[in-house]
Chains A and B, each alone.
Chain A
Amino acid sequence: MDIIKSDTNINFLRFSNIALVISALVLIAGIVSLSTKGLNFGLDFTGGTLIELHYPEPPEMNDVRQTLQEEGFEEFVVQTFGTASDIVVRIPAADDGESSADISTRVLEALSAQAPELEMRRVEFVGPQIGQELAEQGGLALLYVLIGVLLYISFRFQWRFAVGAVGALVHDVLLVVGVLSVFQVSFDLTVVAAILAVIGYSLNDTIVVYDRLRENFQTKRKGTPEELTNLSINQMLGRTLMTSLTTLLVLIALFYFGGEIIHAFAFTLIVGVIIGTYSSVYVAGSLAVKLGVSKMDLMPVQKEGADQPDQEILPERFRNREA
C-alpha cells in the first residue's frame, strides 16, 4: 500500500512561484489580521485573574455578572467554558493597590454565597511584571531556537541550507501566528510551547529533504540543482506525508479528547504541522536553490592519497562545508 506511487515525479519547483504567491497571500492576510485584530493574548501575557467554576446546573450568566458588579468589580468577562455549567471569569490586572491575589478570593466568596454547591476548578493570577517577563522569555526562546538551528545546519550541511531552513521556519512561524490571529485563538504559554514544537517538527521535515538532496548531489552524476532538488522532494514525499499523517492523528486525538485547557495548544500544532509539511515541500528546497546551492557545495573532498572507491556515504569530517 502506497500513498505515493513510486514513480511520482511532480515538478514542485515549477510550482514554487505559485507557492510563493500562496504563502504571500496567507502571510498578508495574517499581517492584516495581526494589525487590525491583533493576537488574543491570554492571561499569561496580559496579567490579571482567571477563575474557572463549575456549577451543578447551568447558571444564569446575567446573575453571575450582577453579583460581580454588586461586589464592586467593574471590568470583567464572564464566559462559558466547554459546557454551560462551567464558566470562566476573567478580571484584568488592576492599576490600584488591589492587584494582589485577593481578587480571586473575593470572587469566589461572592459567587458561592449565591450558589453554595459551586466548585472551584482553577484560579490563575498573573502579576503584570510576570506577564512581561513571560513574553520576553517566549520571544527569546524563539530567537535562540532559530540561532541554534542556523548553527547546527551550517555545521552539518552548508550555510545556504541553513538560511533556507531558517527562512522556511520564519515563514512557518509567521503563518501560524497569522492563523492564530485570524481565529483569535487565546495566545498563552502553551501556545508558545506549541510554536517551538512546530519549529522542531517543521525542521525535521526540512532536514530529511536536505539530507536526501545532499546524498543525490554526491551520487548522481547528471542533473541540475533544480532537478536534483525536485527528485529529492519526490523521493521523500511518501515519508513526509506518512509522518505528517501520524502526527496529525495524535494531535486530533489531543484536540478532541485532551480537554479545554489543551485546546489552543493542539490547534496551534495542527496548523503548524500542516504548514510545516507544506513549507518543507515548497519553501525550504526552492529557497536553497534560489540561494544558489550547487553540487560543488557538498562534494566530498578527496582525501589525499586515500583510496576512494565509492562516494556514497562518507564520515562527516570529510565533507566540505564551505564552497
Chain B
Amino acid sequence: MNRFPPWKYALLIIVLGLGLVYALPNIYGDDPAVQVSSSRGFDLQPEIVGEVERSLESAGVEHGPVDFSSQRVLVRLDSSDRQLRAADALRESFGDDYVVALNLAPATPSWLSTLGAEPMVLGLDLQGGVHFLMQVDMEAAKTQRLNNYVESVRNLLRDAGIRYRSVRVSGENLVVELRTAEHRSEARELIESETEGLAIESVDAGQTFNLRASVTETYLQEIQQNALEQNMTTLRNRVNELGVAEPVIQQQGANRIVVQLPGVQDTAQAKRVLGATATVEYRAVDEQNDPYEAERTGRVPPGSKLYYDRNDQPILLSREVIASGENLIGAAAGFDQQSGQPNVVVTLDGEGARRMLEHTTENVGNRMAVVFIEYRPETRMVDGEEVHSTRRVEEVISAAVTREPFGKRFQTTGLGSATEAAQLAMLLRAGALAAPMQIIEERTVGPSLGQDNIDQGFQSVIIGFALVLVVMALYYKVFGLIANLALTANLVLIVALLSLLGATLTLPGIAGIVLTVGMAVDANVLIFERIREELRNGNTPQASIRAGYEKAFSTIADANVTTLIAAIVLFMFGTGPIKGFAVTLSLGIVTSMFTAILGTRGVVTLIYGGRKRVKSLAI
C-alpha cells in the first residue's frame, strides 16, 4: 500500500486553488478606457469623478463605470470609437495640469480584484509601443558644471574685492590667474570656504600666481547622479506631454535611462519630444557695441558674447544670463491679442521672476534676446574609433524690445508660425536638461504586430501543449493522463505566478512557456521509466511506484538545478525580452517540480494507493 499524507493533499489543493484564482483574471480581456492623471504628480481629489462624468455627459459620450484612485481616474467605454471621443472631450475640459491618455482597463470581476488578482502585464512586443534607451552625455554635464564654477568664482572674487587676471576653464580644470601671492592665498581661502566639490592647488606660472582647481571624484559622481535624475524628471514631464497611460522611465547603469511608452503609435512625434534636448536662455542685448565690428575683428567686448540669429546676422549679448530653462514653470502657445501673431506665454519661477523684474525695470526700451540652445548628437571618427558626442548649437531666436517691466509672466512674439510657437512652447514646457542625451537603442512594435504576436504565441502554446498531451497519453496510458493533469496544473501555476509577481509577459516569455511545457514532462518521464524498470525487475506494482518516485527524485533535482543555473545567468545578463524568457523558464522549472512530483504522486496514490492487491499498472 502507498500512502500520501493528508497534509500533502491539503497543500496540493490549496496551491492549485490559489493558482486558479490568480490565473483567472487573464481570461477576461480588456475594456477600452480613458485615463486622467495629474501632469505634476499631485494627488487627485474624489470630486474629479463628478467633473469627468459631467464633461462626458455634456459631450454626449456614453460611458461605463469610473474608477478612482489618487493617482488616476479610469473611465471604461464600450467601444474604441467612444474611447477616442471621450478622450477628446476630456482633453478639452481638463487643461494642461492633467494628462488624458488612452488606456486599456482589465475587465477583471471585482471579487477577483479585491483578492489582488490581476491579469499578466503584457510587454511592449505584445501590446505595441515604444522602447528607447537613452544615454546621458556626462562629459557635457561636467563641462557645464565647470562653466558654472567660472561664473561663481568670478562673482566671489569681485564681491570680495580681490583683483584677478582671469578665471577660465582649461581642459578638466578651472584656472584662476592672480597677480600676487597674497591675492592668491586670499582667493584660495575664499574659494575653499564658499564653493563645494573643488580640489585646489597653487601653481606658479612665471608672471602670474595661479590656482588650479579640479572637481573631486565624489562630487563628480554626485553631479552625474543629479544630472541623470534631473533628466529623468524632464523626461517624465515630456512623456506627460505625449499623453501615455503607463510610461516606464528608469535608470539603467550609471548614465542610461530606459523609456517605455506602451501604446504609442506616432514614434516620430515621441522621438521629437524626447530627443529634442533644447533649452533657452534670456540675455540682455549689448546695444553699446557694434556686432559687425566684433565679427570682423574677432575682438568681442568684455562682458559680451557674439551670437548669430536665424538669418546669420551677428548680435552681441551680455554674458549674464537673466533666466534659463531651469527657471521655466510653464510656456503656452497662443496668439497675441493685439497683433494676432503667434506667441508663447512664459511663466517663470520665483528666482527667475525676481531677476527678470530687476533686469526689465532697468532696461525698458532695450532689447532682450532669447537664445535657443540645442544639443545635437553627432558621431565622429577619431583614430578609427567612433566617438559619440553632442554639439551645442546656439541660436538667437528672438530679440525683442522690452516694452514694460515684467517678472513672472510675459510673452515672446516674432515666431515664424503657429506651429513653431507650439513646438517652442512644448520644448520650453518640457524644461531644460542638465546634460544632453541621445537615443542609442529603439524598439518599436506596431499594434497589429503586437496582436499577431499574442495570437501566434498563444497558438503555439496550445498546439505544443496538445501534442505533448497526446503523446504522453498514448505512451504511458493512465500514468500519461496523470502526467497530463500535472502539466495542465503546471501551466495554470506559471500563469498565476506571472500574474501575481507582476512580471511582464513577452514573446520570448511565451517561448519560455512553450519550452517548459515540453521539458516539464521530463520529471514524469523519468519517474515512469523508473517504475517500468522496477516492474521489469519483478517488483510488485506498489513497491515499483514507491521506488520509482524515490529513486528518480535526486536525478530530477540535479537535472533541474543545472537548467536553473542557465536560466538564472540568462536573467542576469539578458536585457528586456531575454529576461522574459529567463523568468518564464525558471518559474516553469520550479512549478514543474511541484506538479510533476508531488502532484502526480497524489493522484497515483489516489488511484492505486488504497488497493491491497494491484495486479498490473497501466503504464
Interface residues of A (CB under 8 A from B): 1-3, 6, 52, 54, 94-97, 99-102, 104-105, 108-109, 119-130, 134, 137-138, 140-141, 144-145, 148-149, 152-153, 156, 189-190, 192-193, 196-197, 199-201, 203-204, 207-208, 211-212, 215, 235-236, 238-239, 242-243, 245-251, 253-254, 256-259, 261-262, 265-266, 269, 313
Chain B residues, Cβ within 8 Å of A128:
386
Asked if A105 contacts B271 (CB within 8 A), the reply is yes
For this complex, 17 residue pairs linking A to B, each with C-beta atoms less than 8 Å apart, are A1-B477, A6-B533, A121-B445, A121-B449, A122-B445, A122-B449, A129-B386, A148-B566, A152-B565, A189-B578, A190-B581, A197-B515, A197-B581, A203-B563, A204-B522, A254-B515, A313-B550
- For residue B381, which residue of chain A has the nearest CB? A95
**Closest A residue to B131 using CB positions:** A124
Q: How far is the CA of A262 from the CA of B581 in the complex (A)?
A: 12
Residues of B within 8 A of A258 (CB): 456-457, 459-460, 510-511, 514
CA distance in complex: A200, B475 (Å): 25
With A140-B573, A197-B566 known to touch, is A250 a contact of B267 (CB < 8 Å)?
no
Please, how many angstroms separate the alpha-carbon atoms of A152 and B468 in the complex?
31
Q: Decide if the interface of chain A is mainly helix, strand, loop or mixed.
A: helix
Q: How many residues of chain B get a CB closer than 8 Å to chain A's CBs?
A: 84
Question: Which partner residue on chain B sits nearest A141 by CB separation?
Answer: B573
Residues of B within 8 A of A249 (CB): 464, 467-468, 471, 518
- Residues of A within 8 Å of B581, CB to CB, are 190, 193, 197
- Of B353-361, B371-379, B417-425, the one contacting chain A is B371-379
> Which residues of B line the A interface, CB within 8 A?
125, 132-133, 135, 267-268, 271, 275, 376-379, 381, 386, 388, 438-446, 448-449, 452-453, 456-457, 459-460, 463-465, 467-468, 471-472, 474-475, 477, 507-508, 510-511, 514-515, 517-519, 521-522, 525-526, 529, 532-533, 536, 550-551, 554-555, 558-567, 569-570, 572-575, 577-578, 581-582, 585
Q: Once the chains are docked, how many angstroms separate the CA of A119 from the CA of B507? A: 21
Q: A121-B446, A193-B574, A238-B529 are in contact. Are A250 and B518 (CB under 8 A)?
A: yes
Q: Are B468 and A123 in contact (CB under 8 A)?
A: no
B455 to A: closest C-beta gap in Å? 9
- Output the nearest chain A residue to B455 by Cβ-Cβ distance: A259
Q: Besides A6-B533, A129-B440, A251-B515, 10 other CB < 8 A contacts?
A: A6-B536, A104-B444, A105-B271, A122-B446, A137-B575, A193-B508, A200-B567, A203-B563, A246-B472, A250-B460
A210–B457 Cα distance when bound, in Å, is 35
A52 touching B449, Cβ below 8 Å: yes
| Cross-chain contact of A250 among B377, B517, B567, B575 (Cβ < 8 A) | B517
Q: What is the bound-complex CA distance between A320 and B132, given in angstroms?
A: 53
* A-B contacts, CB under 8 A, total: 254
Do A119 and B566 touch across chains, with their CB atoms under 8 A apart? Answer: no
A242 CA to B467 CA, complexed, in Å: 13
Q: Which chain B residues lie closer than 8 Å to A126 at the CB level?
A: 440-442
Give the residue of B514, B555, B566 whose beta carbon is less than 8 angstroms from that of A211.
B555
Q: Which residues of A contact B271 (CB under 8 A)?
A: 101-102, 105
With CB as the reference atom, state the residue of chain A lying closest to B380. Answer: A97
- Name the distance in Å between A5's Cβ and chain B's nearest Cβ: 11
* With A100-B438, A189-B577, A193-B508 as contacts: A246 and B468 at CB distance below 8 Å: yes
Residues of B within 8 A of A211 (CB): 554-555, 558-559
Chain B residues with CB under 8 A of A204 = 519, 522, 559-560, 562-563
Tell me the complex Cα distance, A70–B439, Å. 26
Check if B566 sits within 8 Å of A199, measured CB to CB. yes
> B563 to A265, Cβ gap below 8 A?
no
Q: Are A247 and B575 in contact (CB under 8 A)?
A: no
Contact of B453 among A1, A138, A259 (CB under 8 A): A259
**Shortest distance from the beta carbon of A301 to any chain B beta carbon, whole Å:** 18
Contacts of B135 in A (CB 8 A): 127, 129
Known: A123-B444, A144-B569, A145-B566. A254 touches B449 (CB 8 A): no
Q: CA separation between A1 and B574, bound complex, in Å?
A: 42
B268, B376, B515, B575 — most chain A CB neighbours (10 Å): B515
Cβ-defined contact, A141 with B379, below 8 A: no
Are A261 and B573 in touch, CB under 8 angstroms?
no
Please report the C-alpha to C-alpha distance between residue A104 and residue B442 in the assembled complex, in whole angstroms.
10
Complex: how many Å from CA A211 to CA B562?
13
How far apart are B461's CB and chain A's nearest CB, in angstroms? 8
* Complex-state Cα separation, A120 to B526, whole angstroms: 48
Do residues A130 and B441 form an inter-chain contact, with CB atoms below 8 A?
Answer: yes
Please name all residues of chain B whose beta carbon is closer than 8 Å to the beta carbon of A208 when the two chains form the complex: 526, 555, 559
* Bound CA span A127–B440, Å: 5
CA distance A109 to B376 in the complex (A): 21
The reply to whether B518 and A247 contact each other, CB–CB distance below 8 Å, is yes
- Chain A residues whose C-beta falls within 8 Å of the C-beta of B533 in the assembled complex: 6, 235
CB of A17 to closest CB in B, whole Å = 28
List of A residues within 8 angstroms of B572 by Cβ: 141, 144
**Chain A CB within 10 A, most for which of B551, B561, B562:** B562
Taking the closest CB of chain A, its distance from the CB of B517, in whole angstroms, is: 5
- CB of A243 within 8 A of CB of B508, answer no
CA distance A2 to B477 in the complex (A): 12
A137 to B571, alpha carbons, bound, how many Å? 12
Residues of B within 8 A of A245 (CB): 471
**Measured CA separation A109–B266 after assembly (Å):** 12
Whether A97 contacts B578 by the Cβ 8 Å rule is no
How far apart are B387's CB and chain A's nearest CB, in angstroms? 10
Closest to B520 in A: A246
With a 10 A CB-CB cut-off, give which of B125, B475, B529, B574 has the most chain A CB atoms: B529
A265 contacts B518, C-beta separation under 8 Å: no
- Nearest Cβ in chain A — how far from B437, in angstroms? 11
Q: Is the CB of B558 within 8 A of A156?
A: yes
Q: Which residue of B has the minimal Cβ distance to A102?
A: B271
| A-chain residues with CB within 8 Å of residue B575 when the two chains form the complex | 134, 137, 189
Residues of B contacting A109 in the complex (Cβ-Cβ under 8 angstroms): 268
Tell me the complex Cα distance, A247–B456, Å: 18
* A101, A125, A199 pick with most chain B CB within 10 angstroms: A101
A266–B351 Cα distance when bound, in Å, is 60
Measured in the bound complex, the distance between the Cα atoms of B325 and A84 in whole Å is 50
Contact A96 to B379, CB < 8 A, known contacts A204-B522, A243-B522: yes
